[in-house]
Amino acid sequence: MLPNTGRLAGCTVFITGASRGIGKAIALKAAKDGANIVIAAKTTHPHPKLPGTIYTAAEEIEAVGGKALPCIVDVRDEQQISDAVEKAVEKFGGIDILVNNASAISLTNTLETPTKRMDLMMSVNTRGTYLASKACIPYLKKSKVAHILNLSPPLNLNPIWFKQHCAYTIAKYGMSMCVLGMAEEFKGEIAVNALWPKTAIHTAAMDMLGGSGIESQCRKVDIIADAAYAIFKKPKSFTGNFVIDENILKEEGIKNFDAYAIKPGHTLLPDFFLDEYPEPITKKMESTGAVPEFKEEKPQPQPKPHLGAVEETFRIVKDSLSDDVVKATQGIYLFELSGEDGGTWFLDLKSKGGNVGYGEPSNRADVVMSMSTDDFVKMFSGKLKPTMAFMSGKLKIKA
Protein backbone atom coordinates (compact mmCIF):
# COMPACT_ATOMS: atom_id res chain seq x y z
CA MET A 1 0.00 0.00 0.00
CA LEU A 2 1.17 3.55 -0.75
CA PRO A 3 1.70 5.59 2.44
CA ASN A 4 0.15 9.03 2.87
CA THR A 5 2.58 11.95 2.99
CA GLY A 6 0.29 14.80 4.04
CA ARG A 7 0.75 16.53 0.67
CA LEU A 8 -2.98 17.04 0.17
CA ALA A 9 -3.60 18.67 3.57
CA GLY A 10 -5.95 21.61 3.09
CA CYS A 11 -6.49 20.84 -0.62
CA THR A 12 -10.03 20.74 -1.94
CA VAL A 13 -10.86 17.67 -4.03
CA PHE A 14 -14.10 17.66 -6.04
CA ILE A 15 -15.11 14.06 -6.85
CA THR A 16 -18.12 13.01 -8.94
CA GLY A 17 -19.72 9.71 -7.98
CA ALA A 18 -17.99 9.70 -4.59
CA SER A 19 -20.73 8.11 -2.50
CA ARG A 20 -19.35 4.59 -3.04
CA GLY A 21 -16.79 2.45 -4.84
CA ILE A 22 -13.73 3.94 -6.51
CA GLY A 23 -14.84 7.55 -5.99
CA LYS A 24 -15.22 7.07 -2.25
CA ALA A 25 -11.90 5.21 -2.01
CA ILE A 26 -10.07 8.15 -3.65
CA ALA A 27 -11.90 10.50 -1.29
CA LEU A 28 -10.85 8.54 1.81
CA LYS A 29 -7.22 8.38 0.66
CA ALA A 30 -7.09 12.17 0.25
CA ALA A 31 -9.02 12.72 3.48
CA LYS A 32 -6.30 10.91 5.45
CA ASP A 33 -4.01 13.79 4.49
CA GLY A 34 -6.57 16.27 5.86
CA ALA A 35 -8.06 17.22 2.49
CA ASN A 36 -11.44 18.84 1.92
CA ILE A 37 -13.68 16.52 -0.10
CA VAL A 38 -16.65 17.60 -2.17
CA ILE A 39 -18.88 14.55 -2.60
CA ALA A 40 -20.74 15.28 -5.85
CA ALA A 41 -23.15 12.38 -6.29
CA LYS A 42 -26.84 11.52 -6.64
CA THR A 43 -27.54 9.07 -3.85
CA THR A 44 -29.23 10.71 -0.87
CA HIS A 45 -31.23 7.71 0.37
CA PRO A 46 -30.02 4.12 0.80
CA HIS A 47 -30.32 2.05 -2.38
CA PRO A 48 -31.63 -1.53 -2.04
CA LYS A 49 -28.67 -2.98 -3.98
CA LEU A 50 -25.96 -0.31 -3.85
CA PRO A 51 -24.42 0.70 -0.51
CA GLY A 52 -23.74 4.27 0.59
CA THR A 53 -25.11 7.78 0.25
CA ILE A 54 -23.42 11.18 0.03
CA TYR A 55 -24.07 11.58 3.76
CA THR A 56 -22.62 8.23 4.87
CA ALA A 57 -19.58 8.94 2.69
CA ALA A 58 -19.22 12.33 4.40
CA GLU A 59 -19.22 10.65 7.81
CA GLU A 60 -16.49 8.23 6.72
CA ILE A 61 -14.38 11.05 5.28
CA GLU A 62 -14.56 13.09 8.46
CA ALA A 63 -13.81 10.01 10.57
CA VAL A 64 -10.38 9.66 8.93
CA GLY A 65 -9.44 13.32 9.26
CA GLY A 66 -10.89 15.07 6.24
CA LYS A 67 -13.57 17.72 5.84
CA ALA A 68 -16.62 16.83 3.76
CA LEU A 69 -19.18 18.73 1.73
CA PRO A 70 -21.93 16.41 0.43
CA CYS A 71 -23.63 17.88 -2.65
CA ILE A 72 -26.55 16.42 -4.57
CA VAL A 73 -25.22 16.26 -8.13
CA ASP A 74 -26.47 14.46 -11.19
CA VAL A 75 -23.67 15.21 -13.66
CA ARG A 76 -26.25 15.34 -16.45
CA ASP A 77 -27.56 18.56 -14.83
CA GLU A 78 -25.27 21.51 -15.54
CA GLN A 79 -26.95 23.67 -12.90
CA GLN A 80 -26.39 21.08 -10.17
CA ILE A 81 -22.71 20.94 -11.10
CA SER A 82 -22.43 24.75 -11.02
CA ASP A 83 -24.22 24.97 -7.67
CA ALA A 84 -21.90 22.34 -6.14
CA VAL A 85 -18.81 24.16 -7.43
CA GLU A 86 -20.07 27.44 -5.95
CA LYS A 87 -20.75 25.79 -2.58
CA ALA A 88 -17.28 24.24 -2.60
CA VAL A 89 -15.58 27.56 -3.34
CA GLU A 90 -17.69 29.33 -0.71
CA LYS A 91 -16.91 26.72 1.97
CA PHE A 92 -13.29 25.87 1.18
CA GLY A 93 -12.04 28.87 -0.81
CA GLY A 94 -11.31 27.13 -4.09
CA ILE A 95 -10.83 23.81 -5.91
CA ASP A 96 -7.46 22.11 -6.30
CA ILE A 97 -8.32 18.72 -7.79
CA LEU A 98 -11.22 17.40 -9.87
CA VAL A 99 -11.84 13.67 -10.19
CA ASN A 100 -14.29 12.71 -12.93
CA ASN A 101 -15.36 9.32 -11.64
CA ALA A 102 -19.13 9.22 -12.30
CA SER A 103 -19.90 6.73 -15.04
CA ALA A 104 -22.70 4.67 -16.55
CA ILE A 105 -22.19 1.27 -18.16
CA SER A 106 -24.18 -1.08 -20.37
CA LEU A 107 -22.23 -3.90 -22.02
CA THR A 108 -24.75 -4.40 -24.79
CA ASN A 109 -24.31 -4.49 -28.55
CA THR A 110 -25.82 -1.99 -30.98
CA LEU A 111 -29.21 -3.63 -31.51
CA GLU A 112 -29.65 -4.40 -27.81
CA THR A 113 -28.84 -0.89 -26.54
CA PRO A 114 -31.98 1.25 -26.14
CA THR A 115 -31.62 4.90 -27.14
CA LYS A 116 -32.28 5.95 -23.53
CA ARG A 117 -29.36 3.82 -22.34
CA MET A 118 -27.11 5.26 -25.04
CA ASP A 119 -28.15 8.78 -24.04
CA LEU A 120 -27.50 7.99 -20.37
CA MET A 121 -23.94 6.79 -21.04
CA MET A 122 -23.12 9.73 -23.28
CA SER A 123 -24.65 12.23 -20.83
CA VAL A 124 -22.94 10.84 -17.72
CA ASN A 125 -19.59 9.73 -19.11
CA THR A 126 -18.66 12.17 -21.86
CA ARG A 127 -20.90 15.18 -21.30
CA GLY A 128 -20.77 14.98 -17.49
CA THR A 129 -16.97 14.89 -17.52
CA TYR A 130 -16.84 17.83 -19.91
CA LEU A 131 -19.28 19.94 -17.88
CA ALA A 132 -17.66 19.21 -14.50
CA SER A 133 -14.26 20.07 -15.96
CA LYS A 134 -15.57 23.27 -17.51
CA ALA A 135 -17.10 24.39 -14.20
CA CYS A 136 -13.96 23.67 -12.15
CA ILE A 137 -11.27 24.93 -14.54
CA PRO A 138 -11.51 28.65 -13.59
CA TYR A 139 -10.72 27.70 -9.98
CA LEU A 140 -8.17 25.02 -10.85
CA LYS A 141 -6.21 27.65 -12.76
CA LYS A 142 -5.70 29.51 -9.47
CA SER A 143 -4.44 26.42 -7.62
CA LYS A 144 -0.81 25.45 -7.06
CA VAL A 145 -1.83 21.76 -7.28
CA ALA A 146 -4.28 21.91 -10.22
CA HIS A 147 -5.15 18.37 -11.32
CA ILE A 148 -8.00 16.89 -13.34
CA LEU A 149 -8.16 13.12 -13.22
CA ASN A 150 -10.61 11.14 -15.37
CA LEU A 151 -11.31 7.49 -14.60
CA SER A 152 -11.12 6.43 -18.23
CA PRO A 153 -9.06 4.10 -20.45
CA PRO A 154 -6.27 4.62 -22.97
CA LEU A 155 -7.62 5.35 -26.45
CA ASN A 156 -7.17 1.85 -27.84
CA LEU A 157 -8.68 1.51 -31.33
CA ASN A 158 -8.51 -2.28 -31.48
CA PRO A 159 -11.96 -3.24 -32.88
CA ILE A 160 -12.43 -5.92 -30.21
CA TRP A 161 -13.23 -3.18 -27.70
CA PHE A 162 -16.00 -1.79 -29.91
CA LYS A 163 -17.52 -5.01 -31.20
CA GLN A 164 -19.55 -6.12 -28.17
CA HIS A 165 -20.39 -2.76 -26.53
CA CYS A 166 -19.94 0.01 -29.09
CA ALA A 167 -22.06 2.61 -27.23
CA TYR A 168 -20.25 2.14 -23.92
CA THR A 169 -16.84 2.35 -25.59
CA ILE A 170 -17.75 5.57 -27.42
CA ALA A 171 -19.04 7.14 -24.19
CA LYS A 172 -16.02 6.04 -22.15
CA TYR A 173 -13.55 7.13 -24.81
CA GLY A 174 -15.24 10.55 -24.75
CA MET A 175 -13.84 10.94 -21.23
CA SER A 176 -10.40 10.00 -22.52
CA MET A 177 -10.67 12.47 -25.37
CA CYS A 178 -11.34 15.19 -22.80
CA VAL A 179 -7.93 14.30 -21.35
CA LEU A 180 -6.29 14.47 -24.75
CA GLY A 181 -7.79 17.87 -25.56
CA MET A 182 -7.72 19.61 -22.18
CA ALA A 183 -4.18 18.50 -21.36
CA GLU A 184 -2.99 20.36 -24.43
CA GLU A 185 -5.36 23.30 -23.96
CA PHE A 186 -4.33 23.96 -20.35
CA LYS A 187 -0.70 22.83 -20.52
CA GLY A 188 1.35 24.57 -17.86
CA GLU A 189 -1.75 25.54 -15.89
CA ILE A 190 -3.56 22.29 -15.07
CA ALA A 191 -2.39 18.68 -15.16
CA VAL A 192 -5.04 16.59 -16.96
CA ASN A 193 -4.63 12.81 -16.88
CA ALA A 194 -6.57 9.55 -17.09
CA LEU A 195 -6.32 6.57 -14.76
CA TRP A 196 -7.41 3.02 -15.57
CA PRO A 197 -6.99 -0.29 -13.74
CA LYS A 198 -4.95 -3.14 -15.17
CA THR A 199 -7.34 -5.68 -13.65
CA ALA A 200 -10.99 -5.76 -12.70
CA ILE A 201 -11.79 -3.81 -9.53
CA HIS A 202 -14.31 -5.13 -7.03
CA THR A 203 -17.22 -2.69 -6.79
CA ALA A 204 -20.99 -2.98 -6.55
CA ALA A 205 -21.13 -2.47 -10.32
CA MET A 206 -18.74 -5.38 -10.89
CA ASP A 207 -20.90 -7.59 -8.67
CA MET A 208 -23.90 -6.74 -10.84
CA LEU A 209 -21.99 -7.36 -14.09
CA GLY A 210 -19.96 -10.40 -13.09
CA GLY A 211 -22.25 -12.12 -10.62
CA SER A 212 -21.45 -14.18 -7.56
CA GLY A 213 -17.82 -15.18 -7.12
CA ILE A 214 -16.41 -12.45 -9.37
CA GLU A 215 -14.67 -10.78 -6.42
CA SER A 216 -12.02 -13.51 -6.22
CA GLN A 217 -10.73 -12.34 -9.63
CA CYS A 218 -10.65 -8.66 -8.67
CA ARG A 219 -8.48 -6.19 -6.82
CA LYS A 220 -9.69 -3.82 -4.12
CA VAL A 221 -10.59 -0.19 -4.85
CA ASP A 222 -7.54 0.73 -2.74
CA ILE A 223 -5.22 0.22 -5.72
CA ILE A 224 -7.02 2.93 -7.69
CA ALA A 225 -7.01 5.25 -4.67
CA ASP A 226 -3.25 4.78 -4.22
CA ALA A 227 -2.60 5.29 -7.94
CA ALA A 228 -4.69 8.49 -7.95
CA TYR A 229 -2.77 9.73 -4.90
CA ALA A 230 0.51 9.05 -6.73
CA ILE A 231 -0.72 11.18 -9.65
CA PHE A 232 -1.80 14.03 -7.36
CA LYS A 233 1.77 14.18 -6.03
CA LYS A 234 3.04 14.94 -9.53
CA PRO A 235 3.68 18.50 -10.79
CA LYS A 236 1.47 20.25 -13.34
CA SER A 237 3.97 19.27 -16.03
CA PHE A 238 2.80 15.66 -15.63
CA THR A 239 -0.11 15.94 -18.04
CA GLY A 240 -1.78 14.18 -20.98
CA ASN A 241 -0.96 10.73 -19.58
CA PHE A 242 -3.10 7.60 -19.71
CA VAL A 243 -1.92 5.95 -16.52
CA ILE A 244 -2.38 2.28 -15.60
CA ASP A 245 -2.69 1.79 -11.84
CA GLU A 246 -0.12 -0.97 -11.46
CA ASN A 247 2.48 0.81 -13.59
CA ILE A 248 2.53 4.05 -11.62
CA LEU A 249 2.59 2.18 -8.31
CA LYS A 250 5.62 0.20 -9.49
CA GLU A 251 7.28 3.56 -10.16
CA GLU A 252 6.43 4.48 -6.56
CA GLY A 253 8.30 1.41 -5.35
CA ILE A 254 5.39 -0.96 -4.78
CA LYS A 255 6.52 -4.51 -5.53
CA ASN A 256 4.02 -6.79 -3.81
CA PHE A 257 0.51 -6.34 -5.19
CA ASP A 258 -1.06 -9.17 -3.19
CA ALA A 259 -2.21 -6.60 -0.63
CA TYR A 260 -4.58 -5.22 -3.27
CA ALA A 261 -6.11 -8.58 -4.20
CA ILE A 262 -9.47 -9.61 -2.77
CA LYS A 263 -8.17 -13.18 -2.66
CA PRO A 264 -4.37 -13.27 -3.08
CA GLY A 265 -3.18 -16.04 -5.38
CA HIS A 266 -6.28 -16.15 -7.57
CA THR A 267 -6.04 -15.40 -11.28
CA LEU A 268 -7.00 -11.77 -11.86
CA LEU A 269 -9.40 -10.69 -14.56
CA PRO A 270 -7.80 -8.29 -17.09
CA ASP A 271 -9.77 -5.07 -17.48
CA PHE A 272 -11.32 -3.80 -20.69
CA PHE A 273 -9.45 -1.76 -23.30
CA LEU A 274 -5.96 -3.08 -22.53
CA ASP A 275 -4.02 -5.16 -25.02
CA GLU A 276 -0.69 -3.35 -25.09
CA TYR A 277 0.77 -6.58 -23.73
CA PRO A 278 -1.26 -9.20 -25.61
CA GLU A 279 0.86 -12.20 -24.68
CA PRO A 280 0.48 -12.01 -20.86
CA ILE A 281 -3.22 -11.21 -21.17
CA THR A 282 -3.75 -13.94 -23.72
CA LYS A 283 -2.02 -16.51 -21.52
CA LYS A 284 -4.01 -15.38 -18.50
CA MET A 285 -7.29 -15.67 -20.38
CA GLU A 286 -6.38 -18.98 -21.99
CA SER A 287 -5.48 -20.42 -18.59
CA THR A 288 -9.18 -20.17 -17.76
CA GLY A 289 -10.22 -21.83 -21.02
CA ALA A 290 -11.15 -18.68 -22.96
CA VAL A 291 -9.71 -17.66 -26.31
CA PRO A 292 -9.25 -13.86 -26.52
CA GLU A 293 -10.65 -12.49 -29.76
CA PHE A 294 -7.83 -9.96 -30.09
CA LYS A 295 -5.15 -12.64 -30.37
CA GLU A 296 -3.51 -12.20 -33.76
CA GLU A 297 -3.30 -15.65 -35.26
CA LYS A 298 -5.22 -17.74 -37.73
CA PRO A 299 -8.34 -19.13 -36.13
CA GLN A 300 -7.95 -22.75 -35.13
CA PRO A 301 -10.86 -25.13 -35.67
CA GLN A 302 -12.67 -25.74 -32.39
CA PRO A 303 -13.29 -29.35 -31.41
CA LYS A 304 -16.91 -30.32 -31.88
CA PRO A 305 -18.77 -31.54 -28.81
CA HIS A 306 -19.45 -35.22 -28.56
CA LEU A 307 -22.85 -36.20 -29.87
CA GLY A 308 -25.37 -35.37 -27.21
CA ALA A 309 -22.91 -33.40 -25.08
CA VAL A 310 -25.43 -30.64 -24.41
CA GLU A 311 -28.16 -33.12 -23.52
CA GLU A 312 -25.74 -34.99 -21.27
CA THR A 313 -24.74 -31.71 -19.58
CA PHE A 314 -28.35 -30.88 -18.82
CA ARG A 315 -28.91 -34.42 -17.54
CA ILE A 316 -26.07 -33.95 -15.07
CA VAL A 317 -27.49 -30.58 -14.05
CA LYS A 318 -30.95 -32.11 -13.55
CA ASP A 319 -29.52 -34.83 -11.32
CA SER A 320 -27.99 -32.19 -9.07
CA LEU A 321 -31.19 -30.18 -8.58
CA SER A 322 -32.78 -29.90 -5.16
CA ASP A 323 -35.30 -27.78 -3.31
CA ASP A 324 -32.40 -26.03 -1.56
CA VAL A 325 -30.84 -25.03 -4.88
CA VAL A 326 -34.20 -23.74 -6.15
CA LYS A 327 -34.84 -21.80 -2.94
CA ALA A 328 -31.41 -20.18 -3.07
CA THR A 329 -31.60 -19.23 -6.78
CA GLN A 330 -35.20 -18.39 -7.72
CA GLY A 331 -34.53 -17.85 -11.41
CA ILE A 332 -35.42 -19.26 -14.81
CA TYR A 333 -32.63 -19.42 -17.39
CA LEU A 334 -33.06 -19.82 -21.15
CA PHE A 335 -30.08 -20.99 -23.21
CA GLU A 336 -29.98 -20.20 -26.95
CA LEU A 337 -27.23 -22.47 -28.22
CA SER A 338 -25.81 -22.28 -31.73
CA GLY A 339 -23.97 -25.00 -33.61
CA GLU A 340 -24.26 -28.76 -33.65
CA ASP A 341 -26.47 -30.23 -30.92
CA GLY A 342 -27.77 -26.72 -30.21
CA GLY A 343 -31.21 -25.20 -29.99
CA THR A 344 -33.17 -23.70 -27.11
CA TRP A 345 -32.89 -25.20 -23.63
CA PHE A 346 -34.08 -24.04 -20.23
CA LEU A 347 -33.10 -24.38 -16.57
CA ASP A 348 -35.99 -23.68 -14.21
CA LEU A 349 -34.81 -22.91 -10.69
CA LYS A 350 -38.10 -21.41 -9.54
CA SER A 351 -40.55 -24.30 -9.72
CA LYS A 352 -40.58 -26.85 -6.89
CA GLY A 353 -37.70 -29.28 -7.27
CA GLY A 354 -36.41 -27.46 -10.36
CA ASN A 355 -36.50 -28.64 -13.96
CA VAL A 356 -34.49 -28.63 -17.19
CA GLY A 357 -35.49 -29.38 -20.74
CA TYR A 358 -35.41 -28.68 -24.44
CA GLY A 359 -37.51 -25.76 -25.71
CA GLU A 360 -39.18 -22.91 -23.87
CA PRO A 361 -39.92 -23.00 -20.11
CA SER A 362 -43.54 -22.90 -18.95
CA ASN A 363 -42.94 -19.51 -17.33
CA ARG A 364 -41.10 -16.47 -18.71
CA ALA A 365 -37.31 -16.68 -18.42
CA ASP A 366 -35.54 -14.20 -16.16
CA VAL A 367 -32.25 -14.49 -18.02
CA VAL A 368 -31.47 -15.42 -21.64
CA MET A 369 -27.95 -16.65 -22.40
CA SER A 370 -26.67 -17.05 -25.96
CA MET A 371 -23.52 -18.98 -26.85
CA SER A 372 -22.17 -21.82 -28.93
CA THR A 373 -22.63 -25.45 -27.88
CA ASP A 374 -18.83 -25.84 -27.70
CA ASP A 375 -18.50 -23.01 -25.19
CA PHE A 376 -21.60 -24.11 -23.27
CA VAL A 377 -20.12 -27.55 -22.64
CA LYS A 378 -16.76 -26.01 -21.71
CA MET A 379 -18.44 -23.63 -19.30
CA PHE A 380 -20.49 -26.28 -17.50
CA SER A 381 -17.53 -28.63 -17.32
CA GLY A 382 -15.39 -25.96 -15.66
CA LYS A 383 -13.02 -25.41 -18.60
CA LEU A 384 -14.38 -21.93 -19.37
CA LYS A 385 -15.23 -19.51 -16.57
CA PRO A 386 -18.56 -17.70 -17.10
CA THR A 387 -16.97 -14.32 -16.41
CA MET A 388 -14.31 -14.85 -19.06
CA ALA A 389 -16.93 -16.13 -21.50
CA PHE A 390 -18.89 -12.93 -20.99
CA MET A 391 -15.91 -10.57 -21.08
CA SER A 392 -14.56 -12.14 -24.28
CA GLY A 393 -17.95 -12.03 -26.06
CA LYS A 394 -18.50 -15.77 -26.09
CA LEU A 395 -21.50 -15.46 -23.77
CA LYS A 396 -24.24 -12.89 -24.35
CA ILE A 397 -26.74 -12.19 -21.60
CA LYS A 398 -30.16 -10.56 -21.66
CA ALA A 399 -31.89 -9.98 -18.36
- Catalytic site residue from 55, 130, 139, 168: 168
10-residue mean pLDDT series, the chain (399 residues): 93 97 97 98 86 94 98 98 98 98 94 96 98 98 98 94 94 98 98 96 76 82 98 97 97 94 89 66 41 40 54 85 83 87 87 88 88 86 75 76
**240-289 per-position pLDDT tens digit:** 999 999 999 999 999 999 999 999 988 888 889 997 544 444 444 444 34
What are the tens digits of pLDDT across the range 69-82?
A: 999 999 999 999 99
Q: What is the pLDDT of residue 307?
A: 43
CA distances from 260 to 62, 65, 342 (A): 24, 23, 42
Q: Is 168 a catalytic residue?
A: yes
Q: In angstroms, rounded to a whole number, what is the distance separating the alpha carbons of residues 304 and 328?
A: 34
Rounded to 10 degrees, the C-alpha dihedral 48/52/53/59 comes to: 150
Radius of gyration of the CA atoms of the chain, in A: 23
